[in-house]
Amino acid sequence: MAGLYSKPGFTGQSTLAAGTRRPYFDVMNELVFEVTQEEDAGFCAECLTENIFTQGDTWDDVRKNVQEAVRAYFFDQPSMPRRIRLP
């Protein structure tokens, strides 16, 4: 599995425990956003782990804007988070 566990020039050296290997990129399973309702009745959403921030006038707007912002943030990454949580 050369494509999964190594990138060009990878020698197999690792700082992980002997016999343990992981991909050179980490697959993020979940992003969690903190959503707050503003005084003007709009909503703001801020990711707790990445520099992603967006807003919307309604709950549906903020949900759509979060999805769009996450796609834009990870557009050049090999993988995107599998789940987005808006508690």
Torsion of CA 50, 51, 54, 60, to 10 degrees: -10
Whether 38 is covered by a domain: the verdict is yes
* Mean pLDDT, each 10-residue run in order, the chain (87 residues): 39 44 57 93 94 95 96 90 90
Report the alpha-carbon distance of residue 46 to residue 48 in Å, rounded. Answer: 6
CATH number, domain containing residue 65: 3.30.160
Whether 18 is covered by a domain: the verdict is no
Whether 51 is covered by a domain: the verdict is yes
pTM: 0.66
Tally of structural domains, the chain: 1
- Domain containing 54 equals 28-87
Collapsing DSSP states into helix, strand and coil, what is residue 28?
A: coil
> Are 85 and 31 a contacting pair, CB within 8 Å?
yes
